[in-house]
Structure 1
Amino acid sequence: MPAPMRVWMNGAPATTVSVLDRGLSYGDGLFETIRFERGGAPLWPRHMQRLAEGCGRLGLPAPEPAQLLHEALAVADGLPQAVVRITLTRGQGERGYAPPPLPRPTRIVAAFDAPPMRGEGYALGIRTRWCELRLAPQPRLAGIKHLNRLEQVLARAEWRDPAIQEGLLRDPEGHVVSATMANVFAVIGGVLVTPALDRCGVAGVARAEILAASPDAQVRPLREEALRDASELFLSSSVRGILPVQAVDDTVYVPGPVTRALQRHWRGLGFPMEQA
Protein backbone atom coordinates (compact mmCIF):
# COMPACT_ATOMS: atom_id res chain seq x y z
CA MET A 1 0.00 0.00 0.00
CA PRO A 2 1.55 3.38 -0.97
CA ALA A 3 2.62 5.75 1.78
CA PRO A 4 0.20 8.64 2.34
CA MET A 5 1.00 11.95 0.69
CA ARG A 6 2.76 14.06 3.31
CA VAL A 7 2.46 17.40 1.50
CA TRP A 8 -0.75 19.31 0.83
CA MET A 9 -1.01 22.61 -1.03
CA ASN A 10 -4.15 24.71 -0.73
CA GLY A 11 -6.03 21.81 0.81
CA ALA A 12 -5.08 18.97 -1.55
CA PRO A 13 -2.12 16.60 -2.02
CA ALA A 14 0.57 18.22 -4.18
CA THR A 15 4.25 17.93 -5.02
CA THR A 16 4.90 21.11 -7.04
CA VAL A 17 4.59 24.86 -6.63
CA SER A 18 4.47 27.52 -9.36
CA VAL A 19 7.78 29.05 -10.42
CA LEU A 20 5.97 32.41 -10.18
CA ASP A 21 5.18 32.00 -6.49
CA ARG A 22 6.47 34.98 -4.52
CA GLY A 23 7.61 32.73 -1.71
CA LEU A 24 10.09 31.17 -4.13
CA SER A 25 11.02 34.42 -5.88
CA TYR A 26 11.33 36.76 -2.89
CA GLY A 27 10.88 34.82 0.34
CA ASP A 28 7.57 36.66 0.59
CA GLY A 29 5.79 34.70 3.28
CA LEU A 30 5.89 32.99 6.66
CA PHE A 31 6.24 29.53 8.13
CA GLU A 32 5.60 27.64 11.34
CA THR A 33 7.28 24.38 12.36
CA ILE A 34 5.04 22.52 14.80
CA ARG A 35 5.71 19.36 16.79
CA PHE A 36 2.82 16.89 17.02
CA GLU A 37 2.74 14.10 19.59
CA ARG A 38 0.20 11.35 18.87
CA GLY A 39 -2.17 13.68 17.11
CA GLY A 40 -1.80 16.60 19.50
CA ALA A 41 0.24 19.80 19.29
CA PRO A 42 0.68 21.26 22.80
CA LEU A 43 1.97 24.59 21.47
CA TRP A 44 -0.60 24.94 18.65
CA PRO A 45 -2.27 28.11 20.05
CA ARG A 46 1.09 29.87 20.34
CA HIS A 47 2.00 28.92 16.75
CA MET A 48 -1.32 30.29 15.50
CA GLN A 49 -0.84 33.50 17.48
CA ARG A 50 2.60 34.10 15.94
CA LEU A 51 1.35 33.23 12.45
CA ALA A 52 -1.51 35.72 12.78
CA GLU A 53 0.91 38.42 13.99
CA GLY A 54 3.22 37.70 11.05
CA CYS A 55 0.33 37.92 8.59
CA GLY A 56 -0.60 41.28 10.04
CA ARG A 57 2.95 42.57 9.68
CA LEU A 58 3.26 41.40 6.07
CA GLY A 59 -0.26 42.32 5.02
CA LEU A 60 -1.28 38.73 4.27
CA PRO A 61 -4.78 37.27 4.79
CA ALA A 62 -4.50 34.99 7.82
CA PRO A 63 -5.66 31.39 7.26
CA GLU A 64 -8.27 29.84 9.50
CA PRO A 65 -6.60 27.89 12.35
CA ALA A 66 -9.28 25.18 12.14
CA GLN A 67 -8.50 24.62 8.48
CA LEU A 68 -4.77 24.46 9.19
CA LEU A 69 -5.31 21.97 12.00
CA HIS A 70 -7.41 19.74 9.74
CA GLU A 71 -4.68 19.74 7.10
CA ALA A 72 -1.89 19.25 9.65
CA LEU A 73 -3.62 16.21 11.15
CA ALA A 74 -4.21 14.79 7.67
CA VAL A 75 -0.58 14.97 6.57
CA ALA A 76 0.69 13.75 9.98
CA ASP A 77 -1.69 10.79 10.10
CA GLY A 78 0.20 7.62 10.98
CA LEU A 79 3.22 9.42 12.44
CA PRO A 80 3.29 9.05 16.25
CA GLN A 81 5.75 11.96 16.46
CA ALA A 82 5.67 14.44 13.61
CA VAL A 83 6.99 17.83 12.67
CA VAL A 84 4.46 19.71 10.56
CA ARG A 85 5.66 22.71 8.59
CA ILE A 86 3.04 25.23 7.53
CA THR A 87 4.27 27.59 4.81
CA LEU A 88 2.21 30.58 3.75
CA THR A 89 3.30 32.72 0.79
CA ARG A 90 1.70 35.72 -0.90
CA GLY A 91 1.03 33.45 -3.87
CA GLN A 92 1.72 34.08 -7.53
CA GLY A 93 2.42 37.53 -8.87
CA GLU A 94 3.85 39.50 -11.72
CA ARG A 95 7.58 40.09 -12.02
CA GLY A 96 8.77 42.80 -9.63
CA TYR A 97 8.70 43.52 -5.92
CA ALA A 98 5.33 45.27 -5.86
CA PRO A 99 2.88 42.91 -4.12
CA PRO A 100 -0.39 42.10 -5.90
CA PRO A 101 -3.27 44.27 -4.65
CA LEU A 102 -5.42 41.19 -3.96
CA PRO A 103 -3.06 38.38 -2.91
CA ARG A 104 -4.16 34.77 -3.24
CA PRO A 105 -1.84 33.05 -0.74
CA THR A 106 -0.27 29.67 -1.30
CA ARG A 107 -0.70 27.38 1.71
CA ILE A 108 1.64 24.39 2.02
CA VAL A 109 1.33 21.90 4.88
CA ALA A 110 3.96 19.13 5.09
CA ALA A 111 4.75 16.45 7.69
CA PHE A 112 8.04 14.77 8.61
CA ASP A 113 9.21 12.34 11.27
CA ALA A 114 10.10 14.27 14.43
CA PRO A 115 13.59 13.96 15.92
CA PRO A 116 13.63 12.17 19.31
CA MET A 117 13.94 14.32 22.42
CA ARG A 118 16.32 12.10 24.31
CA GLY A 119 20.00 11.32 24.68
CA GLU A 120 23.13 12.78 26.23
CA GLY A 121 22.40 16.24 24.85
CA TYR A 122 19.34 16.52 27.09
CA ALA A 123 21.19 15.11 30.09
CA LEU A 124 24.64 16.68 29.82
CA GLY A 125 24.14 19.49 27.32
CA ILE A 126 25.34 20.25 23.81
CA ARG A 127 28.45 21.98 22.51
CA THR A 128 27.98 25.27 20.66
CA ARG A 129 30.11 28.00 19.11
CA TRP A 130 29.91 31.68 18.30
CA CYS A 131 29.11 32.40 14.67
CA GLU A 132 30.97 35.10 12.77
CA LEU A 133 27.88 36.17 10.84
CA ARG A 134 25.93 39.00 12.46
CA LEU A 135 22.16 39.28 12.16
CA ALA A 136 21.07 42.51 10.49
CA PRO A 137 18.62 44.67 12.47
CA GLN A 138 15.16 45.07 10.90
CA PRO A 139 12.49 45.92 13.48
CA ARG A 140 9.69 45.52 10.93
CA LEU A 141 10.50 41.80 10.66
CA ALA A 142 11.87 41.16 14.15
CA GLY A 143 10.16 38.33 15.98
CA ILE A 144 8.16 36.82 13.10
CA LYS A 145 9.17 33.66 11.24
CA HIS A 146 9.43 34.95 7.68
CA LEU A 147 10.70 32.80 4.84
CA ASN A 148 14.06 34.48 4.32
CA ARG A 149 16.48 32.38 6.38
CA LEU A 150 19.67 33.10 4.40
CA GLU A 151 21.42 34.52 7.45
CA GLN A 152 20.82 31.26 9.32
CA VAL A 153 21.91 29.21 6.30
CA LEU A 154 25.20 31.10 6.06
CA ALA A 155 25.76 30.92 9.81
CA ARG A 156 25.19 27.16 9.83
CA ALA A 157 27.68 26.78 6.96
CA GLU A 158 30.47 28.11 9.20
CA TRP A 159 31.19 24.72 10.78
CA ARG A 160 31.20 21.04 9.87
CA ASP A 161 32.37 19.54 13.17
CA PRO A 162 29.63 17.04 14.16
CA ALA A 163 30.48 17.60 17.82
CA ILE A 164 29.20 21.18 17.53
CA GLN A 165 25.42 21.09 17.47
CA GLU A 166 24.51 24.77 17.37
CA GLY A 167 25.89 28.23 16.72
CA LEU A 168 25.07 31.40 18.66
CA LEU A 169 24.30 34.61 16.79
CA ARG A 170 24.85 38.28 17.63
CA ASP A 171 23.81 41.54 16.02
CA PRO A 172 26.37 44.08 14.67
CA GLU A 173 26.61 45.75 18.12
CA GLY A 174 27.52 42.46 19.80
CA HIS A 175 24.18 41.76 21.46
CA VAL A 176 23.23 38.10 21.74
CA VAL A 177 20.17 37.27 19.62
CA SER A 178 19.65 33.50 19.35
CA ALA A 179 21.05 30.25 18.07
CA THR A 180 20.63 29.37 14.40
CA MET A 181 17.51 27.27 15.15
CA ALA A 182 16.60 28.11 18.75
CA ASN A 183 16.26 30.84 21.33
CA VAL A 184 18.78 31.40 24.12
CA PHE A 185 18.19 31.54 27.88
CA ALA A 186 20.75 32.15 30.63
CA VAL A 187 20.64 32.16 34.42
CA ILE A 188 22.67 35.18 35.54
CA GLY A 189 22.88 36.12 39.20
CA GLY A 190 20.05 33.69 39.92
CA VAL A 191 17.72 35.35 37.38
CA LEU A 192 16.48 33.74 34.16
CA VAL A 193 17.26 36.05 31.24
CA THR A 194 16.62 35.89 27.48
CA PRO A 195 17.68 38.42 24.84
CA ALA A 196 15.29 41.12 23.66
CA LEU A 197 14.21 40.49 20.06
CA ASP A 198 12.84 43.88 19.05
CA ARG A 199 15.49 44.50 16.38
CA CYS A 200 16.10 41.07 14.83
CA GLY A 201 15.67 37.36 15.46
CA VAL A 202 12.71 35.00 15.74
CA ALA A 203 10.56 35.02 18.87
CA GLY A 204 10.03 31.29 19.28
CA VAL A 205 6.83 29.80 20.65
CA ALA A 206 8.92 27.71 23.07
CA ARG A 207 10.44 30.98 24.28
CA ALA A 208 6.93 32.37 24.80
CA GLU A 209 5.94 29.27 26.78
CA ILE A 210 9.00 29.53 29.02
CA LEU A 211 8.36 33.22 29.70
CA ALA A 212 4.73 32.47 30.58
CA ALA A 213 5.87 29.74 32.98
CA SER A 214 8.62 31.94 34.50
CA PRO A 215 7.01 35.23 35.60
CA ASP A 216 10.26 36.52 37.14
CA ALA A 217 12.27 36.03 33.93
CA GLN A 218 13.77 39.11 32.30
CA VAL A 219 13.77 40.04 28.61
CA ARG A 220 16.58 42.49 28.01
CA PRO A 221 19.62 43.21 25.84
CA LEU A 222 22.30 40.64 26.57
CA ARG A 223 25.93 40.85 25.52
CA GLU A 224 28.35 38.01 24.89
CA GLU A 225 30.42 38.75 27.99
CA ALA A 226 27.35 38.40 30.21
CA LEU A 227 26.98 34.79 29.14
CA ARG A 228 30.42 33.98 30.52
CA ASP A 229 29.08 34.77 34.00
CA ALA A 230 25.96 32.63 33.58
CA SER A 231 25.48 29.68 35.92
CA GLU A 232 23.20 27.93 33.40
CA LEU A 233 22.67 28.25 29.67
CA PHE A 234 20.09 26.46 27.56
CA LEU A 235 18.32 26.64 24.20
CA SER A 236 14.60 26.43 23.57
CA SER A 237 12.90 25.07 20.46
CA SER A 238 9.34 24.00 19.74
CA VAL A 239 10.74 20.96 17.90
CA ARG A 240 13.69 20.03 20.13
CA GLY A 241 12.44 21.24 23.51
CA ILE A 242 14.85 22.41 26.25
CA LEU A 243 18.48 21.69 25.41
CA PRO A 244 21.14 22.47 28.05
CA VAL A 245 24.34 24.03 26.73
CA GLN A 246 27.51 22.29 27.87
CA ALA A 247 29.94 24.70 26.21
CA VAL A 248 30.15 27.79 24.03
CA ASP A 249 33.59 27.49 22.45
CA ASP A 250 35.85 27.22 25.56
CA THR A 251 33.31 28.43 28.14
CA VAL A 252 31.83 25.45 30.00
CA TYR A 253 28.44 25.14 31.72
CA VAL A 254 26.61 22.52 33.77
CA PRO A 255 22.82 21.97 33.56
CA GLY A 256 21.29 23.39 36.73
CA PRO A 257 17.99 23.48 38.62
CA VAL A 258 16.30 26.06 36.37
CA THR A 259 17.06 24.04 33.23
CA ARG A 260 15.86 20.81 34.88
CA ALA A 261 12.65 22.44 36.10
CA LEU A 262 11.85 23.66 32.60
CA GLN A 263 12.60 20.23 31.14
CA ARG A 264 10.03 18.84 33.59
CA HIS A 265 7.60 21.55 32.51
CA TRP A 266 8.13 20.48 28.90
CA ARG A 267 7.31 16.89 29.72
CA GLY A 268 4.21 18.11 31.53
CA LEU A 269 3.00 19.78 28.34
CA GLY A 270 2.95 16.38 26.64
CA PHE A 271 6.39 16.20 25.04
CA PRO A 272 8.28 12.92 25.74
CA MET A 273 11.58 14.52 26.72
CA GLU A 274 14.11 12.17 28.30
CA GLN A 275 17.41 13.18 29.85
CA ALA A 276 19.20 9.95 28.93
Structure 2
Amino acid sequence: METVWHWAEGTWRPGSGMLDSRDSLWRRGLALVETVRTGPEGAPLWSWHRERLAGGLARLGWPAALPEGLPEVAAPAALRLVASWSPERPAVTLRAHLRPLPAPPPWPALAYPPLAACPPPAPLHGLKTLSHSLAAGEDPAPWYDRVLANPRGEVMETLRHNLFWTDREGRVFTPSLETGCVAGVGRRWALARLRAWSIAVAEVATAPPDPEDIAECWLTNALSGPVPVGALGHHPLDPGRARLGPALAGGWPPAQR
Protein backbone atom coordinates (compact mmCIF):
# COMPACT_ATOMS: atom_id res chain seq x y z
CA MET A 1 0.00 0.00 0.00
CA GLU A 2 1.28 3.46 -0.91
CA THR A 3 2.26 5.73 1.98
CA VAL A 4 0.65 9.16 1.70
CA TRP A 5 0.80 12.36 3.76
CA HIS A 6 -1.02 15.67 3.39
CA TRP A 7 0.08 19.11 4.57
CA ALA A 8 -2.41 20.64 7.01
CA GLU A 9 -2.16 23.26 9.75
CA GLY A 10 1.60 23.54 9.44
CA THR A 11 2.48 19.84 9.67
CA TRP A 12 2.60 16.66 7.59
CA ARG A 13 -0.29 14.36 8.54
CA PRO A 14 -0.72 10.69 7.54
CA GLY A 15 -3.30 9.98 4.87
CA SER A 16 -4.45 11.82 1.78
CA GLY A 17 -6.95 14.13 3.45
CA MET A 18 -10.05 15.10 1.52
CA LEU A 19 -9.85 15.49 -2.27
CA ASP A 20 -12.26 18.29 -3.10
CA SER A 21 -14.65 17.28 -5.88
CA ARG A 22 -14.56 20.90 -7.10
CA ASP A 23 -10.89 20.56 -7.99
CA SER A 24 -11.25 20.48 -11.78
CA LEU A 25 -7.52 21.10 -12.27
CA TRP A 26 -6.70 17.79 -10.58
CA ARG A 27 -9.16 15.95 -12.80
CA ARG A 28 -7.61 17.55 -15.89
CA GLY A 29 -4.07 16.58 -14.87
CA LEU A 30 -3.02 20.19 -14.22
CA ALA A 31 -1.85 19.83 -10.64
CA LEU A 32 1.81 20.75 -10.07
CA VAL A 33 4.21 17.91 -9.26
CA GLU A 34 7.64 17.65 -7.65
CA THR A 35 9.30 14.24 -7.40
CA VAL A 36 12.03 14.38 -4.77
CA ARG A 37 14.81 11.93 -3.96
CA THR A 38 14.82 11.54 -0.19
CA GLY A 39 16.09 9.23 2.53
CA PRO A 40 16.93 8.97 6.24
CA GLU A 41 19.49 11.78 5.88
CA GLY A 42 17.06 14.08 4.11
CA ALA A 43 16.51 15.33 0.57
CA PRO A 44 19.67 17.08 -0.68
CA LEU A 45 17.96 18.97 -3.50
CA TRP A 46 14.70 19.79 -1.70
CA SER A 47 15.48 23.52 -1.65
CA TRP A 48 15.60 23.52 -5.47
CA HIS A 49 12.34 21.55 -5.70
CA ARG A 50 10.71 23.92 -3.22
CA GLU A 51 11.94 26.93 -5.18
CA ARG A 52 10.54 25.53 -8.43
CA LEU A 53 7.22 24.61 -6.83
CA ALA A 54 6.90 28.04 -5.21
CA GLY A 55 7.66 29.69 -8.56
CA GLY A 56 5.02 27.60 -10.32
CA LEU A 57 2.40 28.36 -7.69
CA ALA A 58 3.19 32.08 -7.89
CA ARG A 59 2.96 32.03 -11.70
CA LEU A 60 -0.46 30.39 -11.50
CA GLY A 61 -1.64 32.65 -8.69
CA TRP A 62 -2.36 29.72 -6.37
CA PRO A 63 -2.17 30.68 -2.67
CA ALA A 64 0.12 28.40 -0.67
CA ALA A 65 2.38 28.32 2.38
CA LEU A 66 4.86 25.58 1.51
CA PRO A 67 6.54 23.42 4.16
CA GLU A 68 10.21 23.95 4.93
CA GLY A 69 10.79 20.19 5.30
CA LEU A 70 9.48 16.84 4.11
CA PRO A 71 8.07 13.77 5.88
CA GLU A 72 10.76 11.60 7.44
CA VAL A 73 11.41 8.29 5.70
CA ALA A 74 13.38 5.21 6.79
CA ALA A 75 15.08 4.34 3.48
CA PRO A 76 16.02 6.04 0.20
CA ALA A 77 12.83 6.63 -1.77
CA ALA A 78 11.00 8.83 -4.24
CA LEU A 79 8.58 11.31 -2.71
CA ARG A 80 6.07 12.73 -5.17
CA LEU A 81 4.48 16.00 -4.06
CA VAL A 82 1.24 17.00 -5.79
CA ALA A 83 -0.15 20.53 -5.38
CA SER A 84 -3.70 21.27 -6.54
CA TRP A 85 -6.20 24.06 -6.02
CA SER A 86 -9.68 25.29 -6.88
CA PRO A 87 -10.77 28.93 -6.61
CA GLU A 88 -13.35 27.99 -3.96
CA ARG A 89 -10.62 26.90 -1.54
CA PRO A 90 -8.47 29.23 0.58
CA ALA A 91 -5.19 27.44 -0.11
CA VAL A 92 -3.48 24.78 -2.19
CA THR A 93 -3.87 21.11 -1.27
CA LEU A 94 -0.45 19.45 -0.97
CA ARG A 95 0.04 15.68 -0.81
CA ALA A 96 3.19 13.56 -0.59
CA HIS A 97 3.24 10.01 -2.03
CA LEU A 98 6.12 7.69 -1.09
CA ARG A 99 7.34 5.36 -3.84
CA PRO A 100 10.40 3.16 -4.53
CA LEU A 101 13.37 4.74 -6.24
CA PRO A 102 13.63 3.73 -9.90
CA ALA A 103 16.64 1.69 -10.97
CA PRO A 104 17.61 2.50 -14.59
CA PRO A 105 19.31 -0.30 -16.53
CA PRO A 106 22.93 0.28 -17.54
CA TRP A 107 23.32 2.01 -20.90
CA PRO A 108 19.62 2.02 -21.84
CA ALA A 109 18.29 2.50 -25.37
CA LEU A 110 15.87 5.33 -26.18
CA ALA A 111 13.08 5.40 -28.76
CA TYR A 112 14.37 7.67 -31.55
CA PRO A 113 13.66 9.66 -33.77
CA PRO A 114 11.56 11.75 -31.39
CA LEU A 115 7.81 11.42 -31.08
CA ALA A 116 5.84 14.64 -31.59
CA ALA A 117 4.41 15.99 -28.34
CA CYS A 118 2.58 19.15 -27.34
CA PRO A 119 3.88 21.04 -24.28
CA PRO A 120 1.23 22.42 -21.91
CA PRO A 121 0.01 25.93 -22.75
CA ALA A 122 0.90 29.10 -20.86
CA PRO A 123 1.01 29.64 -17.93
CA LEU A 124 1.89 25.95 -17.42
CA HIS A 125 4.67 26.14 -20.02
CA GLY A 126 7.85 24.61 -18.58
CA LEU A 127 6.21 23.51 -15.32
CA LYS A 128 5.98 19.89 -14.23
CA THR A 129 2.32 18.94 -13.97
CA LEU A 130 0.32 15.83 -13.19
CA SER A 131 -0.14 15.37 -16.94
CA HIS A 132 3.67 14.93 -17.21
CA SER A 133 3.52 12.20 -14.57
CA LEU A 134 0.66 10.48 -16.36
CA ALA A 135 2.59 10.59 -19.64
CA ALA A 136 5.69 9.25 -17.89
CA GLY A 137 3.64 6.23 -16.86
CA GLU A 138 3.28 5.23 -20.52
CA ASP A 139 5.22 2.11 -21.40
CA PRO A 140 7.83 2.90 -24.09
CA ALA A 141 8.82 -0.79 -24.38
CA PRO A 142 11.02 -2.16 -25.78
CA TRP A 143 12.81 1.13 -25.12
CA TYR A 144 13.77 2.51 -21.71
CA ASP A 145 12.34 5.95 -22.55
CA ARG A 146 11.09 7.94 -25.52
CA VAL A 147 12.59 11.17 -26.89
CA LEU A 148 10.01 13.90 -27.61
CA ALA A 149 9.90 16.84 -30.01
CA ASN A 150 7.65 19.90 -29.83
CA PRO A 151 5.23 20.94 -32.61
CA ARG A 152 8.01 23.00 -34.24
CA GLY A 153 10.06 19.81 -34.61
CA GLU A 154 12.64 20.79 -31.98
CA VAL A 155 14.00 18.08 -29.70
CA MET A 156 12.60 18.73 -26.23
CA GLU A 157 13.07 16.00 -23.58
CA THR A 158 11.99 12.41 -22.91
CA LEU A 159 8.91 11.13 -21.14
CA ARG A 160 10.74 11.05 -17.79
CA HIS A 161 14.01 12.95 -18.20
CA ASN A 162 15.85 15.94 -19.53
CA LEU A 163 18.34 15.23 -22.30
CA PHE A 164 22.02 16.09 -22.91
CA TRP A 165 24.41 15.13 -25.70
CA THR A 166 27.86 15.93 -27.04
CA ASP A 167 28.87 16.13 -30.67
CA ARG A 168 32.05 14.66 -32.10
CA GLU A 169 33.90 17.94 -31.45
CA GLY A 170 33.13 17.61 -27.74
CA ARG A 171 30.54 20.40 -27.58
CA VAL A 172 27.76 19.83 -25.03
CA PHE A 173 24.09 20.54 -25.77
CA THR A 174 20.76 20.38 -23.98
CA PRO A 175 17.32 21.56 -25.17
CA SER A 176 16.55 25.09 -24.00
CA LEU A 177 13.52 25.84 -21.87
CA GLU A 178 12.07 27.67 -24.89
CA THR A 179 11.46 24.26 -26.50
CA GLY A 180 8.85 23.51 -23.81
CA CYS A 181 10.95 21.06 -21.81
CA VAL A 182 10.57 20.94 -18.04
CA ALA A 183 13.15 22.88 -16.03
CA GLY A 184 14.21 19.71 -14.23
CA VAL A 185 16.06 19.70 -10.93
CA GLY A 186 18.38 16.98 -12.26
CA ARG A 187 19.02 19.18 -15.31
CA ARG A 188 19.87 22.12 -13.04
CA TRP A 189 22.26 19.95 -11.02
CA ALA A 190 24.03 18.68 -14.16
CA LEU A 191 24.35 22.19 -15.59
CA ALA A 192 25.85 23.46 -12.33
CA ARG A 193 28.26 20.52 -12.16
CA LEU A 194 29.44 20.94 -15.75
CA ARG A 195 29.94 24.66 -15.33
CA ALA A 196 31.90 24.03 -12.14
CA TRP A 197 34.19 21.92 -14.33
CA SER A 198 34.47 24.89 -16.76
CA ILE A 199 32.55 22.97 -19.43
CA ALA A 200 30.26 25.15 -21.54
CA VAL A 201 26.76 23.87 -22.26
CA ALA A 202 24.77 25.24 -25.21
CA GLU A 203 21.03 25.38 -24.45
CA VAL A 204 19.50 25.02 -27.90
CA ALA A 205 16.23 24.91 -29.81
CA THR A 206 17.17 22.63 -32.67
CA ALA A 207 15.98 19.78 -34.84
CA PRO A 208 16.80 16.32 -33.48
CA PRO A 209 20.50 15.65 -34.04
CA ASP A 210 21.61 12.83 -36.30
CA PRO A 211 22.78 9.95 -34.07
CA GLU A 212 25.83 9.65 -36.33
CA ASP A 213 26.89 13.10 -35.09
CA ILE A 214 26.51 12.26 -31.38
CA ALA A 215 29.52 11.11 -29.38
CA GLU A 216 27.61 10.52 -26.15
CA CYS A 217 24.18 11.14 -24.68
CA TRP A 218 22.80 11.08 -21.16
CA LEU A 219 19.54 11.70 -19.34
CA THR A 220 18.91 13.49 -16.06
CA ASN A 221 16.15 13.62 -13.50
CA ALA A 222 15.96 14.23 -9.78
CA LEU A 223 15.57 10.55 -8.87
CA SER A 224 18.07 8.64 -11.01
CA GLY A 225 20.48 11.50 -11.61
CA PRO A 226 22.57 11.23 -14.80
CA VAL A 227 21.89 8.09 -16.89
CA PRO A 228 24.38 7.45 -19.76
CA VAL A 229 22.54 6.27 -22.89
CA GLY A 230 23.63 3.23 -24.91
CA ALA A 231 21.57 3.69 -28.08
CA LEU A 232 19.31 6.15 -29.88
CA GLY A 233 16.79 4.00 -31.66
CA HIS A 234 18.70 1.28 -33.47
CA HIS A 235 21.89 3.35 -33.54
CA PRO A 236 24.30 2.20 -30.78
CA LEU A 237 26.45 4.75 -28.99
CA ASP A 238 29.97 3.63 -28.11
CA PRO A 239 30.39 3.54 -24.29
CA GLY A 240 34.11 3.98 -24.85
CA ARG A 241 33.45 7.51 -26.12
CA ALA A 242 31.28 8.44 -23.14
CA ARG A 243 33.11 10.75 -20.77
CA LEU A 244 30.83 13.34 -19.19
CA GLY A 245 27.76 11.17 -18.57
CA PRO A 246 29.68 8.58 -16.50
CA ALA A 247 31.62 11.36 -14.71
CA LEU A 248 28.37 13.06 -13.71
CA ALA A 249 26.82 9.75 -12.66
CA GLY A 250 29.84 9.17 -10.40
CA GLY A 251 28.87 12.24 -8.37
CA TRP A 252 25.28 11.14 -7.81
CA PRO A 253 23.46 11.26 -5.46
CA PRO A 254 24.61 14.66 -4.22
CA ALA A 255 25.50 15.30 -0.61
CA GLN A 256 23.06 17.12 1.63
CA ARG A 257 23.12 20.82 0.75
Please say if 1:9 is aligned against 2:6. yes
- For 1:169-212, what per-residue CA distance to the aligned partner results, in whole angstroms no more than 9, with x for missing partners? 00122211001000000012212110012241211100001111
Q: Is the 8 A contact 1:175 1:223 kept in 2?
A: yes
| Equivalences, count | 243
Q: CA distance change for structure 1 residues 8 and 222 in 2, over 3 Å: closer, same or farther?
A: same
Please say if 1:126 is aligned against 2:116. no
Structure 2, unmatched stretches of 5+, are none
Q: CA distance change for structure 1 residues 151 and 174 in 2, over 3 Å: closer, same or farther?
A: farther
RMSD between superposed Cα atoms in Å: 2.6
Distance 2:102 2:57 in 1: 28
Q: CA distance change for structure 1 residues 9 and 38 in 2, over 3 Å: closer, same or farther?
A: closer
Q: CA distance change for structure 1 residues 259 and 132 in 2, over 3 Å: closer, same or farther?
A: closer
Q: Is the 8 A contact 1:35 1:238 kept in 2?
A: yes
Q: CA distance change for structure 1 residues 81 and 257 in 2, over 3 Å: closer, same or farther?
A: same
| Residues 243-254 of structure 1 mapped to structure 2, 5 A cutoff | 243-254=227-238
| Percentage identity across paired residues of the two chains | 26
One-letter amino acid of the structure 1 residue matched with residue 53 of structure 2: L
Aligned partner of 2:35 among 23, 33, 36: 33
Is 42-51 or 106-115 further displaced after alignment? Answer: 106-115
Aligned residue for 1:24, secondary structure, equals: helix
Distance 1:147 1:103 in 2: 21
Aligned partner of 2:78 among 83, 98, 106: 83
For 1:210, the equivalent position in structure 2 comes to 190
For 2:49, the equivalent position in structure 1 comes to 47
For 1:274, the equivalent position in structure 2 comes to none
Distance 2:222 2:194 in 1: 17
Aligned residue for 1:56, secondary structure, equals: helix
One-letter amino acid of the structure 1 residue matched with residue 235 of structure 2: T
For 2:172, the equivalent position in structure 1 comes to 192
- TM-score, length basis structure 2: 0.84
Greater than 4 Å deviation, 4+ residue runs: none
For 1:96, the equivalent position in structure 2 comes to none
For 1:104, the equivalent position in structure 2 comes to 91
Q: Is the 8 A contact 2:109 2:230 kept in 1?
A: yes
Aligned partner of 2:204 among 220, 225, 233: 220
For 1:144, the equivalent position in structure 2 comes to 127
One-letter amino acid of the structure 2 residue matched with residue 115 of structure 1: P
Structure 1, unmatched stretches of 5+, are 92-98, 272-276
| Residues 230-241 of structure 1 mapped to structure 2, 5 A cutoff | 230-241=214-225
Query: Cα offset for 1:227?
Result: 4.6
One-letter amino acid of the structure 1 residue matched with residue 99 of structure 2: F
Aligned partner of 1:265 among 248, 251, 256: 251
Distance 1:116 1:37 in 2: 15
